[in-house]
Structure 1
Amino acid sequence: MLKLCVVLCAAVSLAHGLDKLQQVFQWQAVDYEYPTEEMRQYAKFHKDFIPENNLPVGIEVWENKLFVTVPRWDDGVPSTLNYIPMDAATTMSPNLIPYPSWEANQVPSQAQDQCDTLTTTYRIKADSCDRLWVLDSGTVGIGNTTKQICPYAIHVFDLKTDQRIRKYQFRPEDIKEGTFIANIAIDVGKTCEDTFLYASDELAYGLLSYSWEQNTSWRASHGFFFPDPLLGEFNIGGLTFHWFPEGIFGITLTPPEADGFKNLLFHPIASNSEFAVSTSVLRNKTLAESVELSYNQYVKIGERGLDGHLTSHVMDHNGILFFNLIDRNAVGCWNSLNPYRPEYIGHVDMDNEALIFPSDVKVVGDDLWVISDRMPIHLESETGLDFNDVNFRIFTIPIRNAVRGTVCDGPLNYQTPRPVYPPQSFVDNNLLYSTQQYYKPYSGVTPKNLFSRKIIVRPELPSYLTEPETSPLPARRNQLARAVPSYSPSGNTWSYNKFNYNN
């Protein structure tokens, strides 16, 4: 259980019109927990801390710690990886505490043998093995001001001891001219040793895999990683600007399939399309590096429609995808029981003030977390942010409440992670299905707004799936029964009929 005294005591629905999201923290400008006030004033005097240059972009939650990342896009950012102890916060604008220490967040020397501290990190991930994964870009500045001080590297911390347990520097072959990596996804397999990190290279259009067990990395390429040339214009917070080079960015993992593998969902920023590839491809160095062998394993699953740009997204254990609809000042959702089409894209909440650029979304247990930071105003406007106004906000909401009343609602289990049912006894003509969805792309089909489904027939179902009064599943069963006419076991394996939503 998260220790959320501060959430319960301080969460409010402010007058700016949010219907569901509960605001937990807010800042006009972020500050840091310096050991003494004298040290804070010293840092300001020497331009080591310039509050106006600190823009939080990423969040993560582990037990009572709420992590917040601040990239070093300009001078005066004293710490890039920070946290808030939620059970000890006494204000809605708490100071950030460097993690794991002040020393670990000092800007390193340009000498690569001294690149042992954190330079700039964007989005981070805590895994089920109580490890915090941090990808350090090794850069300071942004755009034309970017300087590569240190190589791209992965830092992994033991959250129980706050000690770094591994640092891995990407191979030179993994990094291309123009590489910019901000997003990661963590894929824990059957054991903690069987873990992979995936990282999206937004501006050199690649997808990197790192194996914890093998302690090595490799790079994949595909045409789906590139931006859509027709969708490079954005309008956010009253600003019209162009991010036309922005390729693959947001990445997240689905729940496991029957074969134990997951699928990685991804999209370029300059796009309104969503794509997928099985982790069986990304985990295999030979497959991942070979465009010829793996090209048809990537599929387009659908489009979000007008104003469909997004950066960050995450899928929960029920197969609900949450994301930031940045053009709409909204947090969106998609239930993977449905086709990936505009009519099935729901709004969790939206607000033209509080949700200007909801930069990051995270699912922690059965709760959704969101941070908004007005990034386009900070980066693209001539005047910049008004630091007399609230600029940065962090929200949370139980997922059950987030999807209630939206097109994403359905017969879902929010108490425990949904089980992965192994093939069991076959029941002919029963036509009862678990709610577990699978996302295995199948070859030989032109990717076109398509998700293949493996339909599992099971003799038993949880009670919440067999109550027609409260569940739409009976109608769903009838639809699937018409689409999937027959089932047959094949030896000790199962044969699955494929269901194409375009039919």
Structure 2
Amino acid sequence: MRAISVIVVLAGVLSCRAATPDLRFGWNEVDYVWDSPTQRESAIKSRHFLPEHNLPLGLARWKNKLFVTVPRWKSGVVSSLNYVDIDGAKDQPLKPYPSLKDNYVEDTAKEIPSNSSIVSVFRVFVDACDRLWVMDSGLADILGSPNQITGPSIVIFDLNTDKLLHRYYLKVTDMKEDSFFANIIVDVDNATCDNAFAYIPDLGGYGVVVYSLKQDDSWRVSHHYFHFEPLAGSFNVSGIEFHWTDGVFGLALSEPRENGYRTMFFHAFASTKEFCVSTELLRNYTHIDKNEAFHDFKLLGDRGEGTQASASFYDISTNVLFYTQVNRDGIGCWNSNKPYTPENNPLLFSDAELYEFPNDLKVDDEGTLWLLTDKLPRFVYRSLDSNELNYMIYSIKTKDLIKGTPCEN
């Protein structure tokens, strides 16, 4: 708890210079709400639970729940889909969703125990119809002995009842040899909930899969802009240099345009450029001329050297696209009413100690931005110190964050 206090003090010092987010949650290591104390003891003894292998990565808010994902990077992850209570303790244990039983899948399993079972989730999305959309990679022990327990699938829950609504497995034609699905965004409004579309980036196979809930069908979209940028594949975080070839990963949707369709902003993780395309093209991709459609994908611009971003989210209330800055330990932004230039993409805040590796961010329906940082490079290439605060979640009002910056309207 002392580490949390230090972070709060440091954040207070920074706030004298600019608007900075409040620390809402922080963990040295994460733990879970178990069905019984003996269950936890048994899981540790059998090595089904290795606390040091459980790293939070994605988040999304719905009412009093803040969902937190824990991918199965390594063995010993108890629950991949979880939540914390917004008004709960800063270091509260994660609550498995929809239950511990649904998340408790052995790393060596050959199949999932039930249709509502969750294997390994990176990012989730809460839609306007009170549904949680989960992109389950189905892959366990990714960095150890990878085991594809089940195929990649979209899992949808009713948040009002916590019941499974639907599970859809991606088709063979949606995937390539190196496909990896770790993100999902949803295009829908609460007047036509049955006509939802999900867009899933394939960061390893360099494409985007579109899923129609009404048709219960999916199709793959290909384009050069989904590939990584060769000169932007090198990263340096906390003195750790690494080289990734992740393609399209960050997706964000604008408000509906005059024709009823939205603009999808997108970028590869290993890139400093931002692109866009109309969702009209994505929804109708199977019926259009692919050669003509190629030119409907647009380059918005380049943020500048070292500005690779893992996640992005478009805030409809401010018309601002927010995105993480993994090399710069902070968050950047761009007002969509302005040209996409480095000058119009300011770094809103940055601190190597407070915001090391900002991994995911979302803006909720109250105009609050939520940010999760997790020191992922240390976790992957070295190790984390359980005496330090390693995983942190912050929040701030978007209008306060952009005040006085080029992103303010």
Note if contact 1:170-1:217 (Cα within 8 Å) is conserved in structure 2: yes
Distance in 2 (alpha carbons) for counterparts of 1:123 and 1:360: 8
Write the distance in 2 (CA, Å) between the matches of 1:131 and 1:12.
Answer: 34
Name the structure 2 match of 1:275.
Answer: 275
Deviation string, structure 1 residues 258-300 (Cα, Å, up to 9, x no partner): 1010011111111100011100011114257x53242111010
Other-structure match for 2:404: 405
1:298-337 to 2 correspondences below 5 Å: 298-317=297-316, 318-337=318-337
- Distance in 2 (CA, whole Å) between partners of 1:112 and 1:133 is 18
Q: How does 1:345-494 map to 2 (within 5 A)?
A: 345-365=345-365, 366-381=367-382, 384-410=383-409
Which amino acid is the alignment partner of residue 139 of structure 2? T
2:296, 2:144 → 1: CA distance?
A: 36
Find the aligned partners of 1:157 and 1:112 in 2 and give their Cα distance: 17
Deviations 1:22-64 (A, max 9, x none): 0001000001011222221111111111110000000010000
- Give the drift of 1:144: 7.0
Partner Cα separation in structure 1 for residue 224 and residue 6 of structure 2: 44
- For the residue of structure 1 that corresponds to 2:267, the secondary structure is strand
Match of 2:224 in 1: 223
Letter paired with 1:392: Y
Structure 2 residue identity aligned to 1:178? D
SS in 2 for 1:14: helix
Q: Which of the pair is proportionally richer in strand?
A: 2
SS of the aligned residue for 1:295 comes to helix
Amino acid in the other structure paired with 1:386:
D
Local SS of the residue matching 2:332: strand
Q: Where do 1:121-200 residues align within 5 Å?
A: 121-142=121-142, 145-189=145-189, 191-200=192-201
> CA separation in 2, counterparts of 1:22 and 1:112?
39
1:425 counterpart residue number = none
Report if the CA contact (8 A) 1:347-1:406 is conserved. Answer: no
Match of 1:294 in 2: 293
SS of equivalent residue, structure 2 residue 182: strand
Q: CA RMSD in A?
A: 1.8
User: 1:24 is paired with a residue of what secondary structure?
Assistant: strand
Matched, 1:264 2:264: yes
Give 3-state SS (helix, strand or coil) of 2:225's partner: helix
SS of 2:44 mapped into structure 1: helix
Larger RCO of the pair (alpha carbons < 8 Å, separation 6+) = 2
Contact 1:262 1:279 in 2 (8 A): yes
Query: Are residues 391 and 209 of structure 1, via their aligned partners in 2, closer, same or farther at CA, if it must alter by over 3 Å?
Result: same
Q: In the TM superposition, what is the alpha-carbon distance from 1:141 to its structure 2 partner?
A: 2.3
Residue of structure 2 in register with 1:35 after alignment: 35
Shift in Å at residue 354 of structure 1? 1.3
Secondary structure at the residue paired with 1:168?
A: strand
Aligned pairs, number: 395
2:206 partner amino acid: Y
Query: Helix, strand or coil: the match of 1:327?
Result: coil
- Other structure's SS at 1:282 match: helix
- TM-score between both structures, scaled by the size of structure 1: 0.76
Q: Deviations over 1:375-430 (max 9, x none)?
A: 0111123xx111110001000011111111221112xxxxxxxxxxxxxxxxxxxx
Query: Structure 1 counterpart of 2:80, which letter?
Result: T
Partner of 2:105: 107
CA distance in 2: counterparts of 1:45 and 1:113, whole angstroms: 22
Quick one: distance in 1 between partners of 2:49 and 2:113?
Answer: 26
Please give the alpha-carbon distance, in whole angstroms, between the structure 1 residues aligned to 2:351 and 2:393.
14
Are residue 98 (structure 1) and residue 96 (structure 2) matched? yes
Q: CA deviation at 1:66?
A: 0.7
Partner of 2:238: 237
Distance verdict in 2 for CA 1:77–1:144, change over 3 Å: closer
Query: Is the Cα–Cα contact under 8 Å of residues 18 and 350 in structure 1 kept in the other structure?
Result: no
Stretches of structure 1 that go unaligned for 5 or more consecutive residues are 1-9, 411-503
Q: CA deviation at 1:74?
A: 1.2
Instruction: State the partner residue of 1:338.
Output: 338
8 Å Cα contact 1:18-1:351 kept in structure 2: no
1:305-348, Cα deviation, whole Å (9 max, x unpaired): 01110010000113101110111001111111211111111222
Query: SS at the partner of 1:406?
Result: coil
Amino acid at match of 1:354: L
1:193, CA displacement in angstroms? 1.1
Residue pair 2:7, 2:354 contacting (<8 A) in 1 also:
no
Asked if the contact 1:281/1:287 (under 8 Å) is kept, the reply is no
Aligned residues of 1:312 and 1:360 also touching (Cα < 8 A): yes
Q: How does 1:82-97 map to 2 (within 5 A)?
A: 82-87=82-87, 89=88, 91-97=89-95
Q: Measure the CA separation in 1 of the matches of 2:63 and 2:8.
A: 24
| Shift, 1:113, TM fit | 8.7
Distance 1:54-1:18 versus aligned 2 partners, 3 A rule: farther
CA distance in 2 between counterparts of 1:144 and 1:54 reads: 14
d(CA) in 2 for partners of 1:143, 1:47: 16
> For the residues of structure 2 that align with 1:173 and 1:129, how far apart are their CA atoms?
29
**Pairwise CA distance, 1:111:** 3.8
Asked if the contact 2:211/2:219 (under 8 Å) is kept, the reply is yes
Verify the 8 A CA contact 2:156 2:166 in the aligned structure 1: yes
* Structure 1, 14-23 or 317-326: larger mean CA deviation: 14-23
Measure how far apart 1:114 and its partner are: 5.6
Partner amino acid for 1:94? Q
Q: What SS does structure 1 have at the residue aligned with 2:295?
A: helix
Decide whether aligned partners of structure 1 residues 359 and 327 sit closer, same or farther in structure 2, where only a CA change above 3 A counts.
same
Deviation at 1:143, TM superposition (A): 5.0
Residue 77 of structure 2 corresponds to residue 77 of structure 1: yes
Q: What is the TM-score of this pair, normalised by structure 2?
A: 0.93
- In the alignment, the residues of structure 1 paired with residue 300 and residue 35 of structure 2 have an alpha-carbon distance, to the nearest angstrom, of 50
Contact 2:174 / 2:220 at 8 angstroms: preserved in 1? yes
Q: CA deviation at 1:146?
A: 2.6
1:151-179 Cα distance to aligned partner (Å, 9 max, x none): 11111000000000111111111111111
